[in-house]
Amino acid sequence: MKYGILVNEGPYQHQASDTAYQFAQALLDKGHELFRVFFYHDGVNNGTRFAVPPQDDRNITARWSEMAEKHGVDLVICIAAAQRRGLLDEGEAKRQGKDGNNIAPGFRISGLGQLIEAGIQSDRLVVFGD
């Protein structure tokens, strides 16, 4: 089956991102296809490579990045939500005149249309949020 995932909460504060990750891992292990993970609301904060969690804790962002590298999962951060919260890729930083960017490997910034497309293309779109 082809799945899409929507993550609406940030890392650590909420379990939603952990559960989404575990769900994604489980469906990949079962041989299903993961069309896209879309990060919205505070969920965009999952994609900052500037987070430095304690070493004895899980690194949520790195975990997503590894999944993207290993399974080619498309991790998309909503641009409107990202701009509000200070998540920038290189191009966006340049456009907005900011002095740095913080997107983690495997993530990309794009529009809400990518979420709708995930809804259209996937057999199931599963929402993880509050």
Partner 1 sequence: MSEPWEEEGPGTIKKFMYVNRKAPYGTIYALESLEVVLIAAAFEQDVSMAFLDDGVYQLKKGQDTQGIGMKNFSPTYRALEGYDVEKLYVEAESLAERGLSEDDLLVPVEVMGREALAELMDEQDVILSF
Q: Is 44 exposed, middle or buried (0-12, 13-18, 19+ CB in 10 A)?
A: buried
Q: Does the active-site annotation cover 78?
A: yes
Give whichever of 49 and 85 is closer to partner 1, judged by the CB atom.
Answer: 85
Query: At its nearest, how many Å lie between partner 1 and the CB of residue 53?
Result: 24
Which residues of this chain interact with partner 1, rule CB under 8 A? 6, 8, 40-41, 80-81, 84, 111-113, 115-117, 119-120, 125, 127, 129-130
Give whichever of 73 and 115 is closer to partner 1, judged by the CB atom.
Answer: 115
Catalytic residue among 60, 77, 78, 125: 78
- Quote the CA–CA distance of 74 and 35 in Å, as a whole number: 7
20, 27 Cβ separation under 8 angstroms:
no
Query: At its nearest, how many Å lie between partner 1 and the CB of residue 103?
Result: 20
Query: At its nearest, how many Å lie between partner 1 and the CB of residue 59?
Result: 26
125: its two tokens: 């779109």
Helices (H), the chain: 16-29, 60-71, 79-85, 90-96, 113-121
Residues with catalytic annotation? 78
